[in-house]
Structure 1
Amino acid sequence: MENSLREAAIAHAPFFITAPGETDVLFYGIAWFVVLAVFALGAFYLTLHALPEKLAHHANHTQIQLIGVLTLLALFTHNGVFWVAALVLAVVRFPDFISPIQAIADSLKTIARNKGEFGDSTRHEPVTETSVTPDMTQQENPKDV
């Protein structure tokens, strides 16, 4: 009687319950699914983490380095503020302040080298050691003696 009760229970059992001594196919299927899902989520997470660096292709070298540091900080500290800051830096295009200032500096060097030849009607003579300055006293000329 007990044997027939066991066989009747096994016959009415759901599909996910395996009989004794048989391979649990659902367990192995779920185990493989979990392993593949972890790898897929890890790849998605790392791809999402690299998004600011991919968006920063227009940025200058310093900005790209700053974005890289912020994304690494976000990756290792699990702090989303660093990732958001890197994303904002990657999306925002900063104006180029250095090039106009460098052009102004180069122009001033050229003007200083030419000693005021451009646009100046009076030419300034360079001050040398032999020229007289206001604080110097007039010395006698040896020819006058």
Structure 2
Amino acid sequence: MSESIHPSAPHHLPFFIPGADGSDTLTVIMGIFLVATVLWVGTLYWKLHSLPERMAHKSQKLQFEVVAVLGLISLFTHMHIFWVAGLLLALIDLPDFGTPMRSIADSVERIADATPGAPAAEPEVEPTPGGHSGAKTPAREGVHNHV
């Protein structure tokens, strides 16, 4: 059999038509484009999904953890209301209740450790360079020292 081309066939075929050897250029190009697009869209989705967590990273630890849990719940349940709730929580600055409560707890603990009827322990003061200790003189009975 002869390998000659039929006289009515075109001598140059466009790139999107598969060659006689079985190679399909358009399929290879579209396959690479599809893989690149899926990776790009996936990266964009992960960046958008982690937006509330990245915003809450600057806030308090508890708020950050709650936003992160809401993001995970929305990821696994596909319920976007959790993502919206996490975004709103990340946008709001919650007041710091922990520091005053910790101060109150420390004060109550010091009060509870004090024995009733015993005089309060005075803080130790280091002596000053002039030889004076800087400690207050104890108050005499009936006389009050006002500072």
- TM tier, shorter chain? 0.5 to 0.7
Matched residues in 2 for 1:36 and 1:100: separation? 52
Query: 2:62 — aligned with what?
Result: 62
Identity %: 39
CA drift at 1:52 = 1.5
Larger radius of gyration: 1
Equivalences for 1:95-134 in 2 at 5 Å? 95-108=95-108, 110=110, 113=114
List gaps (5 residues or longer) in structure 1.
118-145
Q: State the number of aligned residues.
A: 114
The amino acid of 1:85's aligned partner reads A
Q: TM-score, normalised by structure 2?
A: 0.61
Q: 2:7 matched to 1:4?
A: yes
The amino acid of 2:25's aligned partner reads V
The amino acid of 2:16's aligned partner reads F
Query: 1:128 — aligned with what?
Result: none
Matched residues in 2 for 1:57 and 1:69: separation? 13
Equivalences for 1:24-35 in 2 at 5 Å? 24-35=24-35
- In structure 2, the CA distance between the partners of 1:4 and 1:62, relative to structure 1 (3 Å rule), is same
Query: 1:90 — aligned with what?
Result: 90
List gaps (5 residues or longer) in structure 2.
1-5, 120-147
Question: Whose helix proportion is higher, 1 or 2?
Answer: 1
